[in-house]
Structure 1
Amino acid sequence: MGRHSVKAPAKRPGRALILSLIAAFAVVGIVASGVFLWVGGHLNPLFAAAESGCLEREQLVVIADTSIAPALADIAKDFDEASETCVETVVKPQDSADTAAVVASGGVDADAWVPESSVWVDRMSATAASLGQTAPDVEVGEPIAATPVVFAAAATKAAEIASAPVTWTRVLGGALPTILPNPEASSASLAGLLALRGHSSPDDPRQFAGAMIELGKSIPASTSAAFGALSTAPQPSVVVTTEAQVAGFNLDDPAETLVAAYPADGTVLVEYPLVRLPARSGGDAGGATADGVADAAETRAALLAAFEKAARSDTDRLSAAGFRAGDGTGTIDVPGLAADGPAVAAADLDAAAQLEILRAWAVLTLRSRMLAVIDVSGSMEEPAENGLRRIDIFQQAAIGAMEKFSGEVEMGVWVFSTARNGDVDWEDLSPIAPLADLAHKQEIGGIIQSLPSRLGGATGLYDTTLAAVQRVRESYDPEKVNSVLLITDGRNEDENGIDLDTLLAELAKIDDPSKPVPVIMIGFGPDTDLAAMQRIAQATKGAAYSASKPEDLGTVLVDALSQRTCRPNCG
């Protein structure tokens, strides 16, 4: 039995006499006061809280996010003891992501759910739809508590980090090293991304996409893992989190406490609503009449409303755990937190916008397996508009682009021109392998540095493209996004190779919908054959871009990554 349960006394001689005396006193109660203890075998609620104990309890089951569950469990204990009804309120801690999935599948048996943000209700509905099911009919109440999104820093590094204003703008520009727990499991991270987007340029969506790629280079699986990473970060860093998460960490008496840094350019609130779930079974209802079942449901609904009110009113317990009132107000006395919280009003957490960001995040952080194919024809020695050689500009852009890839990406490198190895136009310089392997990443860096010494020949574009697609498909990994990234400054010049129509026909012949290999083509410079590139991209469900300026290469790389889910219908 759970909290406040009473064990049945051991069976012993004389129990029948005791039961007879109870029945007799029941009759006296009926005559004397018009109320009764037993009716049809059920305990009257008026006597439920009698000090003699409860013979039958009404149970409330509340699933709460792990961050607020301990505080709600304490509140539930006081609520049960103070209630005039014999009630047992069970608070079950569970991550909101897990609960959303269970509720979507219809497998939860509880009266209410207190998620970390109402966005989990929308994600539950989206999950149900993806399962081909109708989303459960739930009712989202007003927030019981709230906590603002903040940046957490190690106390010993806080002064250094705060030497400049701590802002979302600094995160966007890469000036504030930031660790983002996985937003697919963290409401704080998802809300933080919404705040980050709000401070990005509305005229340049690539700025926000680029920031997400940077944040996605290393993704801690949990907030606690992110906090642990602060001590090993190569430079003073912050974690996107909430006041409540910082409070929970500091209240556990860690070796080094955290300090909450409040974004000077505004923040958002993560709210904890009480969500009423569809009526649960309530246990063994064998023999119960329809009226009895309805009465039980009505009783639980009334008790749940009372518990919700009690939880929202118990500001002392909530603030002691690092939570503020549902509107974000209130005072907190927890190490590492400001007493009065952020001065900037919280922005509205648009659930639809958060889901849109989550979809973009899923695309940008997909585990990729990519073969980079680089043009080293003689024309790459020609000067660009700024006086640098095309190959010099490419080197600079490629080094910057490499830093955008996470360790989850696998990459190999080919170079091509014409007749590099007999009649073969391409040269395999590095196999497809994880960039998390430092030696492999350094090898690719060395290849990029060596490119000027490899220049020569014409542009063997079509033969190389076909061979690259074949190579990636030969070693296809169904758990990853397999693609070819081809960068060229010109058009096909191999008179002894295949023509465009033959290339397209061969690509169609080897096409396998179960093993898609999109070709992402980037034309670098004014001489590229964009029309041919577009036809190749269309045939492979890839994309073609023109990077006519030195700074465009990084931009089109972000585009290429962020449009993966829309192919072949990208605008």
Structure 2
Amino acid sequence: MSPPSRRARRSRDQVTVAAALALGVGLLLGGGGWALAMRDTGCDGSRQWLSVTADPAVAPAALAAADRFNAARRAAGQCASARVVASDSAEVAGVFRAGRGTPDVWLPDSSLWPDLVGRKAAGKAPSVASSPIVFAVSKATAKRYRTELERRSWGAFQRGRGAPAFHLRLPDPVRTGSGMASLLAIQASSGGGKGALDRFTTVLRTAKTFPHEKGVETVFGGGGADGSTVVAVPEQAVLQHNTNQVATVYPHAGTPYLDFPYVVATSDSKRKRVADGFLAELRSSRTAADLKRAGLRGPGPDQRTPRPLPVVRPGAAAKIQETWRKLGQGLNVLALIDPSRGTAPMPGESGTRLDAMLEALSTGFTLVPDDSSFGLWTLTGAPARPYRQASPMRELGARTQTGGNQRLGLQEALKHVQPRQGGTAGLYASIRAAYKEVGRNYEDGKLNVVLVLTAGGSPSAGRTEISRTVKKLGDTFDARRPVSVIVLGFGAEAAPSLRKVAAVTDGGAYRIENPGTVMQLFLRSDQLRVCDDPRCPD
């Protein structure tokens, strides 16, 4: 064998060993924040380093490409090299948010990440690899339900008459691109129009996550899965699963792909030129072979199976993460009842508007969980103190001095609310006081709300009082500790002034024509968290 052939074989062996070592280190450390060893470039003098941070899923292939790239530049007498470090996409997103220590080039697992941190609009950076989100199921489930899952695809988790019920497990959407993409696919499969939010939140209500640093084996290998369990993971995760317990099902109606975008973050012109050269190596046929060995596909477009589901759009990541965050929140609510005009008939109902308010709250209190907190105030119209505290804010399951719990106390307090004649004097002062009270009893991790129930119409308040309330609440509102005002006008539109008050707190004011709408909100309180309009469940 000639010396050049031996050197070439030795170089290929070194690349393979380096990639295997990198992958092994990554697996031992759980896939997060591990560095890929880089051999000395052998370049004397001034060096132009291109710092590259890659998601652990693509990092071994990026290391092999960096070795070839650096060797080629050394051979050409060029003192510029790529240094590859592996780190979870979520961790690097945090670095970009902080704005310090950012790499020259970022290779996250999905375009959702750079869009989330404002580095690159979704779909605008070139892709270097891909992996479709697939369904991992047990062999027994695949044998029985493969055709069903392929046909229904992401709609398989929706409730259907006579259809088998599947339970979704997915990676943490806060930590993984595959988790975010899975939520977006579920949202897309929920359709639009009437009932879409109900279908979407119904799936999310039962979906469970598994640790992002663990693999699919944590679901099927730990005994926590049954025949209805379907795990949404990248195809790569299943290909790397080394037992025969798991089968792969491809959603025929379409599925999102991880696209591993190449995001050039440096503004230095020299580094940008080096980055262009490294991108060419990453998209070469040699890197394509490395990607295949790592369980990844090449970048698109091609004749893909399964068909790509285009859920990655500008702004989609921020919206779906906010939805997921809100869905996990409990409720911390102070209800303020305005019984003025309460004797007016409720359109389409046999009782009055006050009857509709009380019925909605009474039923609602029985539907939300014990760890939700509620308090109750009523409007009195008295000049000095225009409201009365019927019940302080407590968790519904909390014991009271009477020997019952908060839920029973609220039910009893509703029986003593009487209609008032005349206008809604003191409503805005009461809203300001209620807003201060919720802020005083603020609970992290919960949706903190002043819920105003009124018979609608124009409140009897002057412009000065309205302006004072808008300014006070607008100045007090803190997006880091948000307290929102939601106004429900029973049988009539909420006044424009109330809409303005609600808007400055990121809340809303709406007309309620059917008390069942409010009951549905309590029944599916997660919809109150993810939807700004109480009419959504209609």
- Write the letter of the residue equivalent to 1:143: S
Per the alignment, residue 107 of structure 1 pairs with: 101
Distance in structure 2 (CA, Å) of the matches to 1:397 and 1:92: 52
Q: Retained in 1: the 8 A contact 2:70–2:81?
A: yes
1:486 alignment partner, SS class:
strand
Q: Per the alignment, do residues 366 and 119 of structure 1 end up closer, same or farther by CA in structure 2, a change over 3 Å counting?
A: same
Q: CA RMSD in A?
A: 5.6
The verdict on how the C-alpha distance between 1:423 and 1:85 changes in structure 2, with shifts beyond 3 A counting, is: closer
SS at 1:352 equivalent = coil
What's the counterpart of residue 129 of structure 2? Answer: 145
- Over residues 27-72 of structure 1, what are the superposed CA-to-partner deviations in whole Å (9 max), with x where a residue is unaligned? xxxxxxxxxxxxxxxxxxxxxxxxxx98548877542112222344
Counterpart Cα distance in 2 of 1:452 and 1:126: 53
Alignment partner of 1:327: what SS?
Answer: coil
Does the 8 A contact of 1:181 with 1:223 survive in 2?
A: yes
Which stretch shows the higher mean deviation, 189-198 or 76-85? 76-85
- Number of positions where the alignment pairs a residue of Structure 1 with one of Structure 2: 455
Which secondary structure does the structure 2 equivalent of 1:265 belong to? coil
Q: Partner residue of 1:321?
A: 294
1:411 paired residue number: 373
TM-score, normalised to structure 2's length? 0.62
Structure 2 vs 1, CA of residues 386 and 356 (structure 1 numbering), >3 Å: closer, same or farther?
same
CA distance in 2, matches of 1:551, 1:207: 18
In the alignment, the residues of structure 1 paired with residue 247 and residue 74 of structure 2 have an alpha-carbon distance, to the nearest angstrom, of 43
Is 1:168 matched up with 2:154? Answer: yes
- Per-residue Cα deviation, 1:275-303 (whole angstroms, up to 9, x for no partner): 4554879xxxxxxxxxxxx7x99778646
CA deviation profile, 1:109-163 (whole Å, cap 9, x unmatched): 55x4322123434344459xxxxxxx9xxx9774332111234446676678766
Q: Where does residue 543 of structure 1 map in the other structure?
A: 508
Alignment of 1:343-492 (within 5 A): 343-352=305-314, 354-355=316-317, 357-358=319-320, 361=323, 364-365=326-327, 370-373=332-335, 375=337, 385=348, 390=356, 402=368, 411-414=373-376, 416=378, 425-428=388-391, 430-431=393-394, 450=411, 454=415, 456-458=417-419, 462=427, 465-476=431-442, 482-488=448-454
**Which stretch shows the higher mean deviation, 190-199 or 155-164?**
155-164
Structure 2: how far apart are the matches of 1:54 and 1:509?
A: 62
In structure 2, the partner of 1:21 is none
245, 269, 273: which one pairs with 2:237? 245
Rounded Cα–Cα distance in structure 2 between residues aligned with 1:195 and 1:475: 37
- Cα separation, 1, equivalents of 2:86 and 2:282: 17
The offset of 1:81, in angstroms, is 8.2
Aligned to 1:96: 89
- The percentage of aligned residue pairs carrying the same residue is 19
List per-residue Cα deviations over 1:495-526 (Å, max 9, x = no partner): xxx964597487468647244643211234x3
Choose the corresponding residue for 1:215, options 187, 190, 204.
Answer: 204
CA shift digits 1:474-508 (9 cap, x unpaired): 3346887643123456789xxxxx96459748746
Structure 2 counterpart of 1:523, which letter? G
> Using a 3 Å threshold, how does the CA distance of structure 1 residues 302 and 490 change in structure 2: closer, same or farther?
closer
The residue aligned with 1:519 is 485
The 3 A distance-change label for structure 1 pair 96 and 439 is: farther
Q: CA deviation at 1:563?
A: 4.0
Whole-angstrom CA distance in 1 between matches of 2:119 and 2:349: 50
- Whichever residue aligns with residue 167 of structure 1, its letter is S
| TM-score (ref. length: structure 1) | 0.59
Distance 1:381 1:70, change over 3 A: farther
- Quote the Cα distance in structure 1 between the aligned partners of 2:296 and 2:114: 21
Higher mean C-alpha deviation, range 96-105 or range 379-388: 379-388
In structure 2, stretches of 5+ residues that fail to align are: 1-12, 16-39, 534-538
Q: Deviations over 1:406-443 (max 9, x none)?
A: x8xx6323264879xx9964421651x5x9x9999x96
SS of match in other structure, 1:351:
coil
Q: 1:427 to 1:84 in 2, by over 3 A?
A: same
Q: What is the SS of the residue equivalent to 1:323?
A: coil
Q: Provide closer, same or farther for how the CA distance between residues 485 and 106 of structure 1 changes in structure 2, counting only shifts above 3 A.
A: same
- Find the aligned partners of 2:292 and 2:416 in 1 and give their Cα distance: 66
CA distance in structure 2 between the aligned counterparts of 1:513 and 1:527, rounded to whole angstroms: 29
Distance in 2 between residues matched to 1:85 and 1:381, nearest whole Å = 88
Specify the SS of the correspondent of 2:127: strand
| Unaligned stretches of 5+ residues in structure 1 | 6-52, 128-134, 282-293, 331-341, 493-497, 565-571
Q: CA deviation digits over 1:77-107, x for unaligned, max 9?
A: 6887899939986532112233345457363
**Which letter does structure 2 place at the counterpart of 1:198?**
A
> Which letter does structure 2 place at the counterpart of 1:309?
S
Once the two structures are TM-superposed, the CA of residue 309 in structure 1 deviates from its matched residue by 1.0
Give the distance between the partners of 1:466 and 1:474, measured in 2 at CA: 12
Please state whether the residue corresponding to 1:211 is helix, strand or coil.
helix
Q: Counterparts of 1:143 and 1:64 in 2: how far apart (Å)?
A: 13
The 1:153–1:374 alpha-carbon spacing in structure 2 relative to 1, beyond 3 Å, is farther
Classify 1:507/1:351 alpha carbon distance in 2 versus 1 (closer, same or farther; 3 Å): closer
- Contact kept in structure 2, 1:69 and 1:92, CA below 8 Å: yes
**What CA distance in whole angstroms lies between the structure 2 residues aligned with 1:387 and 1:264?**
50
Structure 1 counterpart of 2:235, one-letter code: E
Rg larger for: 1
